Copies of this chain bind each other. A is one copy, B any other.
Amino acid sequence: MRQVAIVGVGMTRFGRLPEQNLMDLLVSASVEALEDARATDVPVDAVFVGNMAAGLLNQQTAVASALVDRLNLVPAAADRVENGPASGGSALAAGYRAIKAGSAEVVLVVGGEKMTHVPGAEVTRTVATLTHPVAERDYGVTLPALAAMLTRLYSQKYDLSDWDRLRVAVKNHANGALNPRAHFQKEVTLEKAASSPLVADPLRLYDCCPVSDGAAALLLVNAAQAESFTDVPVHVRGSGQATDFQVWHERPDPLQLPAVTTATKRALAEARLAISAIDVVELHDAFTILEYAEAEACGFVPAGSYREALTRGRVARDGELPVNPSGGLKARGHPWGATGVAQACEVAWQLQERAGRRQVHGPRTGFTCNFGGFGNNIVCHAFSREPGREGKNGG
């Protein structure tokens, strides 16, 4: 079976970017990824764009078709992949499969979203299009409300305090302060986070990721050709995706995230990697509680023990299992369709030892978890510096 390698990485700064529209952002990240791979003259076979809401927020459909034109990559195949806030992860999975299937040798994967040009209420209304229209939306359920309820349940079961939870924000802001592409490049204290305004009780402002503009891109190739592009390819070893019941209150145990567990197992099985072999992780901390819940559902730490991993510094940038060295969604920002690709960009930079001041110590393997809906569509990927056992020539 053919194997897949990342040979180029690109990403815009995330944040409020009033001068760039969605297409500008997608182009900017793409060009950086192509230049990074010295591939500006190489035919690209396919382009997959992860984007959640270009129709609703930007009055554009078929953005992938427009992008190949702007990049002068015609006649490359081009599709937009949409899986809510996990659209980027799904676009990466689509690119990976295109190479594995033998349909393509060189694939550009781009994720992006332009969100800050519309009023906050429109962003809220747009993200509510993910929820069940009758069983959730009509009752006023929003994603922050769901996260608040999950936080309450988790906090009751494991006696979690506001401060315990907000340590996620403190850690991720400390990492983001070292990331020149992060939306927020400043540290925050526990005191400040805990005194920030309530958003959805008990969640405070610092429990929630911001609304951001941004795009991220990866150039993927058949691993057998990776060395003609870069000296430091990063191997996409496994891709796993799983769904859960859409309506949160219909799940057997709303505290569990079985789709996270299943997607993780699928990605690691394909990668032939044990979870204990993972060196650096990007999780989808759209809300602080999600870093807790995902780290435990993935199996990086036992249920109820992420607080200890946080307080002991195990998941800090210099810990044994750095989680969200990029700053995560909390500090890097969360342009929906960009996030899944940006997570993979960070893991690639870390494995290539190109992460600058936020570089973690010598990672050989990495893992990403991109969280769609409210935990009902999860996309995970496992990466390594080395090719898989079948050998980089495709076995």
Interface residues of A (CB under 8 A from B): 1, 46, 52-53, 55-56, 59-62, 64-66, 68-69, 73-84, 90, 93-94, 96-98, 100-103, 126, 129-130, 132-133, 239, 241-247, 258-259, 262, 372-373, 376-377
| Chain B residues, Cβ within 8 Å of A129 | 55, 59-62
- In the complex, A56 Cα to B96 Cα: how many Å? 29
Cross-chain contact of A84 among B65, B77, B245, B246 (Cβ < 8 A): B65
User: With the chains together, A59 CA to B126 CA distance in Å?
Assistant: 8
Q: For residue A85, which residue of chain B has the nearest CB?
A: B62
Q: Nearest Cβ distance between residue A56 and chain B, in whole angstroms?
A: 4
11 contacts between A and B (CB under 8 A): A52-B61, A60-B133, A61-B130, A62-B82, A62-B373, A65-B376, A75-B262, A79-B90, A79-B94, A100-B100, A101-B101
CB contacts (< 8 Å) of A258 on chain B: these are 75
Q: How many copies does the complex hold?
A: 2
A62-B130, A243-B75, A246-B69 are contacts. A82–B82 as well, Cβ < 8 Å? yes
A60 vs B245: C-alpha distance in the bound complex, in angstroms?
16
B78 touches A377 (CB 8 A): yes
Given the complex, which residues of B lie within 8 Å of A60, measured CB to CB? 129, 133
Question: Which residues of chain B come closer than 8 Å to A77, judged between CB atoms?
Answer: 93, 241-243
**Closest 9 pairs (CB-CB, A-B):** A100-B101, A77-B241, A62-B84, A75-B242, A101-B101, A97-B101, A55-B55, A65-B377, A69-B246
Give complex CA distance A69, B248 in Å: 12
Complex Cα gap A246–B60 (Å): 13
| Residues of B with C-beta under 8 A to A82 | 61-62, 64, 79-82
In the complex with contacts A69-B243, A75-B258, A97-B90 CB distance below 8 A:
no
A245 CA / B81 CA spacing, docked (Å): 20
Cβ contact within 8 Å between B83 and A62? yes
Least distance between A12 CB and chain B CB atoms (Å) = 20
Task: Please tell me if the beta carbons of B133 and A59 are within 8 angstroms of each other in the complex.
Answer: yes
> Can you name 13 extra interface pairs (CB under 8 A) apart from A62-B377, A79-B90?
A60-B129, A61-B82, A62-B129, A64-B83, A65-B246, A65-B372, A66-B132, A75-B258, A77-B242, A80-B81, A81-B82, A97-B98, A98-B101
Contact A243 B101 (CB under 8 A): no
* Min CB–CB distance A156 → chain B (angstroms): 26
A307 to chain B, nearest CB (A): 28
Of B52, B64, B76, B243, which contacts A78 at CB under 8 A?
A: B243
Which residue on chain B has the smallest CB distance to residue A97? B101
Q: Which B residues are CB-close (under 8 A) to A373?
A: 62, 65
Instruction: Determine the distance from Cα of A18 to Cα of B14 in the docked complex, in whole angstroms.
Output: 43
Whether B75 pairs with A244 at a CB distance below 8 angstroms is yes
Given contacts A61-B52, A65-B376, A97-B97, whether A75 and B259 have CB atoms under 8 Å apart is yes
